[in-house]
Amino acid sequence: MSAPVAISIVVPVFNEAESLPALYEEIAQALGQMGDEGRRSQIIFVDDRSTDGSLEQLLALHQRDPRVCVVRFRRNYGQTAALAAGFDVAKGRVIVTLDGDLQNDPADIPALVRELERGFDIVVGWRKKRYDGFVLRRLPSLIANRLIAWVTGVPIHDTGCTLKAFRRELIKSMVIYAEQHRFLPLLSAGSGARISELVVNHRPRLYGHSKYGIGRATRVVLDLVAVKFVSQFSQRPIQYFGTLALLTLAAGLLFAVAALISLDFGRGHELPGSLLSFNDWEMAVVTILCLVFNAFVYFALLGLLGELAVKASGMHRRSTLDRILNELHG
């Protein structure tokens, strides 16, 4: 009977053919420093439908090293889906994730694992010194990290760093989609997970170009709202929806009273100094604003309900997949 896998390395790949040989060598070297655990490891590359020859490089690495596992998507799904697929395949008691562009340094893997073994459930890499453009990468990242820490109350400096280490039992129970890979520590913090940060090395990009731009900011903000809702209000949705319903009801009653007063005193009467007296144009503007506000609240709540439905569906699929895998390995 073969020894159980100790460490699983998960690397999402999209058009990184030039980086892959050097990346594999650095990962193998880092694992070689970890003794028996490094030998009992697997390196999972998830090809997000690359078009530059990355698949050929990965298959060659698989032929060279049996620890290398290659997962290929039928189409491009994005980094979060690639990480989720890697988590499904991972067998190690510790799972480490990193990017495929060589900017994350595999030499930090042993330190992340050691930090995890001090009693933490997740260790998050912190790129304290980054080699990215300031306007398009570092500044938006700084703003996003501050916003995420403020909204969630989890003080992590660098949520966007892919270089992280997880305990398998924690990550296997989580469902992620959209752009939520950056929120994995935040999603787990709500269940009492112990989180640590570790300063890691960050390197300039040698090949190709970044796949991420400032356009991700909108998706990150929307995912932040969804994560906040799912993690803190999914167990008591009536308090969340009821509060918003009461606020909109109060606003509607206020404007209804204002409209009645305005109509009454508009018929030849005057209400000196009143703030509730509107002319026809002002009333039309207020009515339109109320309709727009109510439509915004309606669609926002509809989207949050959709998030809960997707989360529940993903948890069902994951439990079914785990049951099938357990039967196959049983």
Average pLDDT of the segment spanning 164-187:
78
User: Judging by beta carbons within 10 Å of its beta carbon (0-12, 13-18, 19+), is residue 286 exposed, middle or buried?
Assistant: middle
Q: Any idea what DSSP says for residue 98?
A: -
Separation of alpha carbons 113 and 6, rounded Å: 11
Residue 205 CB-half CA count within 13 A? 12
The residue written with tokens 């994005």 in the block is: 78
- Which of 122, 46, 124 is CA-nearest to residue 88? 46
**Number of Cβ atoms within 10 Å of the Cβ of 11:** 27
User: What is the structure's pLDDT at 142?
Assistant: 82
Confidence band for 327, pLDDT divided at 50, 70 and 90: very low
Q: Which residues contact 184 (CB under 8 A, 6 or more apart)?
A: 122, 164, 166, 171, 174, 176
User: What is the structure's pLDDT at 275?
Assistant: 46
User: Judging by beta carbons within 10 Å of its beta carbon (0-12, 13-18, 19+), is residue 239 exposed, middle or buried?
Assistant: exposed
* pLDDT > 70? residue 169: yes
* pLDDT > 90? residue 176: no
Confidence band for 192, pLDDT divided at 50, 70 and 90: confident
Per-residue pLDDT reduced to its tens digit, 9-41: 999 999 999 999 999 999 999 999 999 988 999
- Which of 126, 154, 152, 151 is CA-nearest to residue 141? 126
Lowest mean pLDDT of 148-162, 223-237, 238-252, name the range.
223-237
**How far is residue 127 CA from its own chain's centroid?**
17
Separation of alpha carbons 38 and 327, rounded Å: 28
User: What is the structure's pLDDT at 231?
Assistant: 64
Separation of alpha carbons 264 and 145, rounded Å: 52
* pLDDT > 70? residue 53: yes
User: What is the structure's pLDDT at 1?
Assistant: 45
* pLDDT > 80? residue 65: yes
Strands 122-126 and 164-167: antiparallel
Lowest mean pLDDT of 87-91, 118-122, 282-286, name the range.
282-286
The residue written with tokens 């997000």 in the block is: 48
User: What is the structure's pLDDT at 286?
Assistant: 67
Average pLDDT of the segment spanning 203-228:
71
At residue 279, φ and ψ (nearest 5 deg) are: -90, 180
Q: For the chain, how far is it from start to end, CA to CA, in angstroms?
A: 13
Average pLDDT of the segment spanning 250-258:
71
Confidence band for 276, pLDDT divided at 50, 70 and 90: very low
- Give me the domains of the chain, ranges plus CATH numbers: 7-229 (3.90.550.10), 237-311 (no CATH)
User: What is the structure's pLDDT at 162?
Assistant: 92
Separation of alpha carbons 330 and 328, rounded Å: 6
Q: Is the pTM here over 0.75, yes or no?
A: no
User: What is the structure's pLDDT at 235?
Assistant: 60
Q: CA-CA-CA-CA torsion for 147, 153, 154, 155, nearest 10 degrees?
A: 60
74 and 133 Cβ atoms separated by less than 8 Å: no
Please spell the DSSP secondary structure of 141-209, one letter per residue: HHHHHHHHHHHH----S-TT---EEEEHHHHTT----TTGGGGHHHHHHTTT--EEEEE--B----SS-
User: What is the structure's pLDDT at 296?
Assistant: 73
Average pLDDT, the chain: 79
What is the amino acid identity at position 324? I
Separation of alpha carbons 189 and 193, rounded Å: 5
Per-residue pLDDT reduced to its tens digit, 96-143: 999 999 999 999 999 999 999 999 999 999 999 888 776 766 777 788
Separation of alpha carbons 329 and 91, rounded Å: 12
Strands 164-167 and 94-97: antiparallel
Longest alpha-carbon distance in the chain: 95
Average pLDDT of the segment spanning 175-198:
77
At residue 329, the 3 state secondary structure works out as: helix
